[in-house]
Amino acid sequence: MIPERKKNNTQKATPNSETSGQKEQQSSQPDVTTGASQSGREIGEKNREYGNKLSDPNLSDAERQRIIEEKKNYNQSHR
């Protein structure tokens, strides 16, 4: 059996100074969250909570309807 020769790849990738400078500049800037996106995130989180409650197979019909009504009212008040 003849051992396989490893290829000696001496070519190295040199980073583009313009590209790496842009990345550094972008990472040093703080994340800005608009009020709308923060509000949307909160609404989504609340709706996930409602979904988790509604996925309970032990809910009575009355409890399920109460949660659905609560979710509906919450979403209408946050439009």
- Cβ atoms of 44 and 71 within 8 Å: the answer is no
Range of the domain at 67: 34-79
Q: Please give the distance of CA 77 from its chain centroid, rounded to a whole number.
A: 24
Q: Please give the distance of CA 11 from its chain centroid, rounded to a whole number.
A: 38
**Would 60 be classed as within a structural domain?**
yes
pLDDT at 8: 58
25-78: per-residue pLDDT in tens? 555 655 667 888 989 999 999 999 999 999 999 999 999 999 999 999 999 998
Give the predicted TM-score (pTM) of the model: 0.55
**Would 13 be classed as within a structural domain?**
no
Closest CA to 73 of 55, 52, 57, 50: 50
Q: How many domains, the chain?
A: 1
**Would 70 be classed as within a structural domain?**
yes
Please state, in angstroms and rounded to a whole number, the distance separating the CA atoms of residues 33 and 40: 11
- Cβ atoms of 70 and 49 within 8 Å: the answer is no
